[in-house]
């Protein structure tokens, strides 16, 4: 076998080409689930998979599986992958590094003459980002069984379009959502390459992070119905302003995190829409989506309950009707110690300093860890910035991550 050699420049060209497939002009990347840009990006990835002679399968939610068959087809495959959907106003690296990076790892392994014994499989997960339906990791939730197919089918976006409507547009309607779930241990291991989305690796000048635990996410949607009216005519004591109830709820969300007793509790009201949205009209409706996470379940759950208690109190006081719904409430993931050791050994072999760390962001690995041994490789990103157009990792930082991934895949698939 020849040395494994990663072509960082070719990869950068692919990253840039994929970033150009966006719903918004550069440098912004926006690729919401099943938008035209998302569908075009999927075709872009499938073409690259074709160049590597991988065999392709789409499942009913649009997860893409690209397999390099091993020499022993009785063995469970080793999987890697991430996502290519992007939140509004995103950058070009979140998720993409784990997809294009995996393909570059496969290419480098093929060119080195490596033949895997276990099949190697790239998974491009559907809707890791929650933008369309408010729930993240849609594809990997269904794979792991954490989300029931009937619950998924009932999801509605802000325009009241269902998941079925969107699956039709994506040409997936003939496939059965019940078939997405995969059995436990169908993979011998799963390793996801991702940018850190935090500042530690850069600050400590460490090229590689290996993830030991993924923080526990949760999300709520709150719909508020107040009473609208003329901004000049309705006197202040008569008002039932949906926006103001929402504003108080957003402040209660902040307080719940600030007073949880754990600095790792973070809470964000990232969606806040109102109707009718006219300057001279009292807001009659508001929609909030709230993201609340923590490394510890006890403080996460207590903060979530505080928010859920605050909503009716605020709404009662303001005479505003509400509906509050838990979109997801997930446990943290504990990554596989043996896989972690393998990655640390690979880093030693490559002479790359490594740090074991917690992921505060969630990833499809959170759900893959429920069905097989899983962990993640992190690479530094500039200033720890993510979910912004100025997200950046250098070609050299990405190359190091791919080298670790390629060597780990070779070890695991041998």
Q: What is the DSSP string of 44-97?
A: HHHHHHHHTT-EEEE-TT--EEEEE--S-TTSPPEEEEEE--EEEEE-S-TTHH
Q: Where are the beta strands (DSSP E) in 297-401?
A: 321-329, 333-334, 354-359, 374-379
The answer to whether residues 125 and 83 touch, using CB atoms and an 8 Å cutoff, is yes
x/- letters, 39..78, toward Mn ion (CB under 5 A): ----------------------------------------
Q: Which is nearer to Mn ion, 94 or 291 (CB)?
A: 94
Q: Which is nearer to ligand GLV, 392 or 411 (CB)?
A: 392
Nearest approach in angstroms of CB 217 to Mn ion is: 11
**With binding defined as CB under 5 A, does residue 196 bind Mn ion?**
no
**With binding defined as CB under 5 A, does residue 336 bind Mn ion?**
no
Q: Where are the beta strands (DSSP E) in 254-412?
A: 266-275, 281-282, 285-294, 321-329, 333-334, 354-359, 374-379
Q: Where are the beta strands (DSSP E) in 295-373?
A: 321-329, 333-334, 354-359
Q: Which is nearer to ligand GLV, 241 or 391 (CB)?
A: 391
Q: Which does 18 bind (CB under 5 to 8 A by kind): ligand GLV, Mn ion, none?
A: none
Question: 318 phi and psi, to 5 degrees?
Answer: -100, 0
Q: Which is nearer to ligand GLV, 129 or 196 (CB)?
A: 129
Nearest approach in angstroms of CB 318 to Mn ion is: 34
Nearest approach in angstroms of CB 229 to ligand GLV is: 37
**With binding defined as CB under 5 A, does residue 192 bind Mn ion?**
no
Nearest approach in angstroms of CB 289 to Mn ion is: 15
Q: Which stretch binds Mn ion (CB under 5 A): 5-13, 89-97, 185-193, 319-327?
A: 89-97
The answer to whether residues 327 and 219 touch, using CB atoms and an 8 Å cutoff, is yes
Q: Which is nearer to ligand GLV, 241 or 364 (CB)?
A: 364
Q: Which does 362 bind (CB under 5 to 8 A by kind): Mn ion, ligand GLV, none?
A: ligand GLV
**With binding defined as CB under 5 A, does residue 38 bind Mn ion?**
no
Q: d(Cα 268, Cα 86) in Å, to the nearest integer?
A: 18
Q: Which is nearer to ligand GLV, 38 or 248 (CB)?
A: 38
Q: Which residues are near ligand GLV by CB under 6 A? A: 129, 136, 361-362
Measuring CA to CA, how many Å separate 378 from each of 91, 145, 251, 277?
17, 26, 33, 42
Nearest approach in angstroms of CB 73 to ligand GLV is: 34
Q: Which does 202 bind (CB under 5 to 8 A by kind): Mn ion, ligand GLV, none?
A: none
Residues with Cβ within 8 Å of residue 379, at least 6 apart in sequence: 97, 193, 194, 195, 196, 201, 207, 208, 209, 393, 397, 398, 400, 401
Q: Which residue has the tokens 């992921």?
A: 359
Question: 357 phi and psi, to 5 degrees?
Answer: -150, 170
Q: Which does 187 bind (CB under 5 to 8 A by kind): ligand GLV, Mn ion, none?
A: none
Q: Which stretch binds Mn ion (CB under 5 A): 95-103, 178-186, 227-235, 370-378?
A: 95-103
Q: Which residue has the tokens 């035209």?
A: 36
Q: Which is nearer to ligand GLV, 222 or 361 (CB)?
A: 361
Alpha carbon 165 to chain centroid distance?
22
Q: Which is nearer to ligand GLV, 98 or 136 (CB)?
A: 136
Measuring CA to CA, how many Å separate 93 from each of 149, 215, 228, 272, 363?
30, 21, 43, 26, 14
**With binding defined as CB under 5 A, does residue 85 bind Mn ion?**
no
DSSP label at residue 388:
S
Q: Contacts by 237-243 with C-beta closer than 8 Å and gap 24+? A: 239/282, 240/318, 240/319, 240/320, 241/282, 241/283, 241/318, 241/320, 242/274, 242/275, 242/283, 242/284, 242/285, 242/286, 242/320, 243/274, 243/283, 243/286
Q: Which residue is nearest to ligand GLV (CB)?
A: 361
Nearest approach in angstroms of CB 109 to Mn ion is: 24
Nearest approach in angstroms of CB 196 to ligand GLV is: 12
Nearest approach in angstroms of CB 83 to ligand GLV is: 8
Size of the site for Mn ion (CB under 5 A): 2
Q: Which is nearer to ligand GLV, 129 or 330 (CB)?
A: 129
Q: Which is nearer to ligand GLV, 136 or 189 (CB)?
A: 136
**With binding defined as CB under 5 A, does residue 94 bind Mn ion?**
yes
Among 95, 198, 380, 401, binds Mn ion (CB under 5 A): 95
Which residues are near Mn ion by CB under 5 A?
Answer: 94-95
């Amino acid at each position: 076998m020849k040395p494994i050699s990663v072509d960082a420049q070719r990869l950068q060209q692919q990253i840039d080409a994929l970033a150009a497939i966006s719903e918004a002009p550069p440098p912004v990347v926006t690729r919401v689930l099943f938008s035209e840009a998302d569908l075009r990006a999927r075709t872009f990835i499938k073409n690259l998979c074709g160049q590597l002679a991988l065999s392709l399968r789409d499942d009913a939610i649009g997860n893409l599986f690209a397999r390099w068959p091993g020499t022993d087809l009785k063995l469970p495959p080793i999987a890697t992958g991430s996502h290519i959907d992007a939140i509004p106003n995103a950058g070009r690296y979140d998720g993409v590094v784990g997809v294009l990076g995996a393909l570059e790892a496969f290419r480098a392994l093929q060119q080195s003459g490596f033949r895997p014994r276990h099949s190697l499989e790239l998974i491009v997960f559907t809707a890791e980002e929650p933008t369309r339906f408010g729930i993240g990791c849609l594809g990997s939730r269904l794979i792991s069984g954490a989300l029931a197919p009937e619950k998924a089918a009932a999801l509605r976006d802000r325009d009241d379009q269902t998941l079925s409507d969107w699956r039709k547009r994506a040409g997936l309607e003939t496939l059965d959502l019940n078939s997405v779930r995969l059995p436990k241990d169908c993979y011998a291991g799963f390793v996801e390459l991702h940018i850190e989305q935090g500042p530690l690796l850069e600050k400590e000048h460490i090229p590689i992070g290996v993830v030991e635990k993924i923080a526990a996410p949760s999300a709520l949607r709150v719909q508020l119905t107040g009473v609208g009216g003329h901004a000049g005519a309705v006197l202040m004591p008569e008002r039932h302003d949906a926006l103001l109830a929402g504003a108080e709820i957003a402040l209660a969300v902040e307080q719940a995190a600030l007073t949880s007793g754990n600095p790792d509790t973070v809470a964000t009201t990232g969606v806040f829409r109102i109707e009718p949205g006219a300057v001279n009209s009292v807001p009659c409706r508001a929609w909030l989506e709230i993201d609340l996470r923590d490394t510890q379940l006890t403080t996460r759950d207590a903060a979530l309950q505080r928010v859920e208690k605050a909503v009716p109190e605020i709404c009662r006081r303001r005479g505003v009707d509400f509906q509050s719904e838990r979109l997801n409430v997930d446990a943290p993931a504990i990554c596989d110690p043996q896989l972690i050791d393998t990655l640390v050994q690979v880093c030693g072999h490559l002479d790359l300093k490594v740090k074991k760390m917690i992921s505060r962001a969630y990833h499809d690995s959170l759900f893959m860890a429920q069905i097989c041994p899983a962990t993640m490789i992190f690479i530094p990103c500039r200033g720890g910035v993510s979910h912004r157009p100025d997200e950046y990792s250098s070609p050299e930082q990405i190359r190091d991550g791919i080298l670790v991934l390629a060597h780990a895949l070779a070890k695991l698939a041998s």
